[in-house]
Amino acid sequence: MPNPSPSAQTRPTAENREPLSGLVERVTYHNAENGYCVLRVKVRGHKELVTVVGHAASVSPGEHVHASGLWEQHREHGPQFRATFLRSAPPTTLEGIEKYLGSGLIKGIGPVYGRKLAQAFGERVFDVIETQPQRLIEVPGIGPKRIAKITRAWAEQKIVREIMVFLQSHGVSTSRAVRIFKTYGADAIPLVTENPYRLARDIRGIGFKTADTIAERLGIPKDSMIRARAGVSYALLEAVSNGHCGLPEDDLLKLAEELLDIPQPTLVEAILLEVKEGSVVADTVRERRCIFLMHLWHAEREIADRLTVLAEGEPSWGLMDSGKAVPWVEEKLGIALATSQREAVAKALVSKVLVVTGGPGVGKTTIVRSILKILAAKGVTVALCAPTGRAAKRLSETTGLGAKTIHRLLETDPANGGFKRGAEAPLDCDLLVVDETSMVDVPLMAALLRALPRQAALLLVGDVDQLPSVGAGQVLADIIGSGAVPVARLTEIFRQAAESRIVTNAHRVNAGRMPDLEVPKDGDSDFYFVAADDPEIGARKVVEIVCDRIPRRFGLDAVRDVQVLAPMQRGLLGARGLNLALQEALNGDGSKPSIEKFGWTYRVGDKVMQIENDYEKEVYNGDIGTIVGLDAEEGELAIDFDGRLIPYPFGELDQVTLAYATTIHKSQGSEYPAVVIPVAMTHYMMLRRNLIYTGITRGKRLVVLVGQKRALALAVRTSDEGCRWSKLRELLFGRTEPSL
């Protein structure tokens, strides 16, 4: 059944929801994984059967459903009821009982025995099955084996129903209740009652706030120790979302007090208990006692340990004469390396671990190509990887060798949420090259180094002046800052790159200088600034530039080739507001199939981005795709990611967002033919030099800044002093030991 048109979809609120109840005649569709269902229901006062769509752990013909939601007018199938709450109950009429028993829900009973049981016991049949199952032998054809099967299946269904009623009565939505039941099974009620905060840890899509609401309904006091202890991890996760691996204890206490409204003495005790239990770790960073989430603390130590071991000794290819190798590769590639490049190549040939860093146009790619060409002649086995699909594709194109995303190189293991490659199954290579290393966070770098054989060499390539990773830590900056491994820092801009105003302006910004905003007299440029002092005017100009001016002037496709990069999500010039405006302008055709979920309308043809790693789908944070299909009966979208068609059940659409506009943070590791960057004083909280620098360096052929010069000036003169709290630099430097 196709989905209703967007005009019919109004997000239900407590004020506008309507009740509905009736007998389920037919289950048109039911997805057992997420509970999404399409039902045909006999409702009093309606001549025709009513179509009800919603979520239920299990539902069968003959059951009585109670629902609340909104009526919608479907353009093809007329009115239907979209339920935000849906609860089913065993039938009470003979007609319903017969349908229910004959539906196949209870193993051992089909349509034939369903009719026989209903005729034999009438409305008392459910009591007989539950309390006197031996009486079922009175029905011809039912023997001891079938009775045992029926009894077992009935008990399972009763547990499911009790769990769903319990969860729904404590404010859990039907779709989330299905997830909880799938995770905990028959133990759901005691586990949730004992500690509802475990939901935030165990169930994807349920955070601390949802668990907190459930806890409140269960009568758990706001200042209880169980809430305080869960709140410590919640506060640390808030810090992790800002890139920290941990926080100084006094900062953590202030943050937790603000988030939880719990007095600090209680929180101090909660931290002590969490440390004692091993959920968090206390350690010293920059002479301050810090609290870390356990997995991040371990990951940083593993990175330090493995880098130290890797750096020891000579590369597996032995000693090499760079005085002969460098001229040879220059001849083979038809290039002339600059002095700084020659030195970097020479370092790579004798080092087990090397970092190559520098901005755009300084020749990082040339160095990597040269190193790989020399080592290929020696028969060295090389593996190449990058954090994103786009970055890996670009690495393949520039080197002529196959490159993978880090996740694909490590072979994700959906069953365990980790990787198949590791210490027990290491990578088969003599040299691993990691591009765009500034994007790699602490957990991913730990996993990568865990899979690298001790005898292998490691080449880390990236721009340390870009924004650090979206995830926790600042791995590349910490490795460089520690002085523990050799670093080749390139600063010279080469002649061809210097002709690009994108490159020269990026370096001006990185040096704390305003970019040159004057357009050359001939009007031919790859860098423009469009003034807009008002956010509303700015938003209109962004849409006009993306949809009309860039395609007309430069022949680029507005959806495929142009990417809007905003400093933040909120506001008219934020990624969210611009996404809505650009979706309307570029894909506003109301006749296309669409679905409204999680605050977005998803429409066939929309450009979307994955916003979290999904190891089972092999789609990762930052991957961009296009919606190519929508099937309401199956309850799923089809999204094309670089030729891979991935199905998304409606209940999993919180993993994707519109991507006509995205944040600069999310664009890391990607390059686009053209980028449009709004810069306004409404973004003042986020305006930093490395943010604008990163945004500018995402554009290959064209960069357009839209907004206020004073906002741009503020960003350029504001360096990011807010250093992330991590232990890695000290661990590599060997200055301090942990004090637990």
Please state the residue numbers annotated as binding site. 361-365
Report d(CA 154, CA 143) in Å as an integer.
16
In the sheet that holds 644-649, the strands lie side by side as 644-649, 636-641, 624-631, 607-610, 656-658
**Binding-site residue ranges for ATP:** 361-365
Angle of CA points 683, 685, 691, to nearest 5°: 75
Q: ∠ CA(324), CA(330), CA(331), 5° rounding?
A: 90
Distances (CA, A) of 472 to 30, 444, 514, 661: 39, 10, 30, 24
| β strands within 346-462, DSSP E | 353-358, 382-386, 403-405, 412-413, 418-419, 431-434, 457-462
Residue 458 near residue 314, CB atoms below 8 Å: no
The angle that helices 339-350 and 364-377 make with each other, rounded to 10 degrees, is: 40
- Cα–Cα nearest to 425, from 447, 399, 405: 447
Residue type, 429: C
H/E segment holding residue 709: helix 709-717
For 360, 514, 622, 702, the CA distances from 529, given in Å and listed in that order, are 20, 12, 27, 11
Burial of 565 (0-12, 13-18, 19+ CB in 10 A): buried
Q: Rg for the chain (alpha carbons), in Å?
A: 30
Instruction: Tally the C-alpha atoms within 13 A of residue 625's C-alpha that lie toward its C-beta.
Output: 29
Closest alpha carbon to 693 in 500, 489, 497, 506: 506
| Separation of alpha carbons 462 and 389, rounded Å | 16
Non-local CB neighbours of 428 within 8 Å, separated by 6+ positions: 381, 383
**Using CB atoms within 10 A of its CB, is residue 5 exposed (0-12), middle (13-18) or buried (19+)?**
middle
Query: In the 8-state DSSP scheme, what is residue 285?
Result: E
For residue 169, which phi and psi values (nearest 5 degrees)? -70, -15
Residue closest to 498 by CA, chosen among 359, 392, 612, 625: 359
Contact 63, 96 (CB under 8 A): yes
Single-letter code of the amino acid located at 405: T
The H or E element that residue 600 is part of is strand 600-603
Helix (H) and strand (E) counts in the chain: 27, 28
Say if residues 74 and 2 touch (Cβ distance below 8 Å): yes
- Write the CB contacts of 379 (distance below 8 Å, at least 6 apart in sequence): none
One DSSP character per residue, 623-666 reads: -EEEEEEEETTTTEEEEEETTEEEEEEGGGGGGEEE-SEEETGG
Q: How far is CA 246 from CA 243, 382, 449, 473, 727, in A?
A: 9, 35, 21, 9, 9
> Hey, what amino acid is at 253?
L
Q: What amino acid is encoded at 337 in this protein?
A: L
Other C-beta atoms within 10 Å of 642: how many? 11
Q: How far is CA 210 from the centre of its chain?
A: 19
Cα–Cα distance measured from residue 244 to residue 739, given in angstroms and rounded to the nearest whole number: 19
443 in Cβ contact with 304 (< 8 Å): no
d(C-alpha 275, C-alpha 289), whole Å? 13
How many residues make up the chain in this entry?
Answer: 740
